[in-house]
């Protein structure tokens, strides 16, 4: 039995986006190699103790965080339930606790410098759309010509993470960059950002990740930017400009308002910053 092929088939039946499907396969191939080469067992013979040892090896060799180990545990659970059709005991491989952290968000000035200094029109147009409309990288890659509604100045998102359509803001400045790209790069009529060798398919997400890292190095900046940094910047800068959370939630396509509240913590605008009571104590005067 081809276990990896069966695993891929089972996750495809869930109707996930291509990007999400790839993330679901991150550690299963390594797991199957481990139990065959190291343990000399078939997947159905593996015990929870064997799986715990695999996670220990994985964390040690790749220096993975507890958050990432949880991803591996989730994949093992999915494999056990839907490929082996065996029960799963959460008490045997409990999810790890990890420290929550706030993602990096570029300032408005950093965002302006990053985009304005990009010379390659294709990645520049993609980054401009991510920041100006709050799009996910997968949503940008899957944009089609007809999704850009110039008359209404909005973008129709049909390949969202939550499988629900929505409309995103279409920025005039981003549209200008996109139009310049469109005329310079063959006027694509299907996917706006097609694969170079097969225009019937959307461009791979790693294309933009590579260009972002390259441009960051050209600017001499520390490696902090990811594709998602621009989506976070969109939400954060909107909140700093006074836009309410419910509107931001709708524009970003969040299922829950809880996901949107992170921008309260990321915002630096004084408009949303409380004053310490110590600074108002005794009319703000403090003497030794």
The correct answer on CATH 1.50.40.10 for the domain covering 108-271 is: no
d(CA 63, CA 59): 5
The answer to whether 171 and 111 have CB atoms below 8 angstroms apart is no
pLDDT tens per residue, range 179-201:
999 999 999 999 999 998 898 99
Q: At which residue do the structure tokens 């909140």 appear?
A: 239
- In three-state secondary structure terms, 186 is coil
- CATH 1.10.443.10 domain extents, the chain: 108-271
pLDDT tens per residue, range 17-60:
666 677 777 889 999 999 999 999 999 999 999 999 999 999 88
The encoded tokens of residue 206 equal: 């790693």
d(CA 127, CA 106): 13
pTM of the model: 0.69
pLDDT tens per residue, range 82-135:
999 999 999 999 998 866 677 889 999 999 999 999 999 999 999 999 999 999
Q: At which residue do the structure tokens 């006027």 appear?
A: 187
pLDDT tens per residue, range 245-273:
899 999 998 888 888 888 887 887 545 55
The correct answer on CATH 1.10.287 for the domain covering 3-82 is: no
- CATH 1.10.150 domain extents, the chain: 3-82
Nearest 5°: the CA angle 210, 214, 217 is 145
As annotated, the active-site residues are: 136, 161, 228, 231, 254, 263
pLDDT for residue 270: 43
């Amino acid at each position: 039995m081809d276990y990896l092929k069966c695993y891929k088939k089972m996750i495809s039946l869930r109707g996930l986006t291509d990007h999400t499907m790839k993330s679901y396969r991150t550690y299963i191939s390594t797991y199957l190699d481990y139990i065959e080469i190291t343990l000399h067992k078939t997947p159905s013979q593996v015990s929870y103790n064997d799986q715990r040892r695999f996670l220990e090896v994985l964390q040690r060799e790749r220096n993975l965080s507890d958050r990432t180990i949880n991803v591996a545990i989730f994949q093992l659970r999915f494999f056990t339930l839907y490929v082996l059709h065996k029960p799963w005991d959460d008490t045997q491989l409990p999810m790890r606790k990890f420290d929550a952290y706030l993602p990096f968000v570029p300032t408005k000035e950093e965002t302006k410098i990053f985009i304005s200094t990009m010379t390659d029109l294709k990645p520049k147009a993609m980054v401009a759309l991510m920041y100006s409309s709050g799009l996910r990288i997968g949503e940008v890659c899957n944009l089609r010509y007809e999704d850009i509604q110039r008359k209404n100045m909005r973008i129709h998102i049909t390949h969202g993470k939550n499988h629900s359509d929505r409309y995103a803001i279409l920025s005039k400045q981003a549209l200008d960059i996109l139009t310049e790209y469109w005329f310079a790069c063959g006027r694509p009529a299907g996917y706006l950002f097609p694969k170079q060798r097969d225009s019937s398919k959307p461009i791979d997400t790693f294309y933009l990740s590579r260009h972002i890292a390259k441009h960051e190095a050209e600017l001499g900046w520390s490696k902090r930017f990811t594709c998602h940094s621009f989506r976070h910047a969109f939400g954060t800068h909107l909140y700093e400009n006074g836009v309410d959370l419910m509107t931001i939630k709708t524009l970003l396509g969040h299922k829950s308002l809880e996901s949107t509240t992170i921008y309260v913590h990321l915002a630096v605008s004084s408009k949303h910053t409380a004053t310490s009571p110590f600074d108002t104590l005794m009319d703000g005067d403090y003497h030794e």
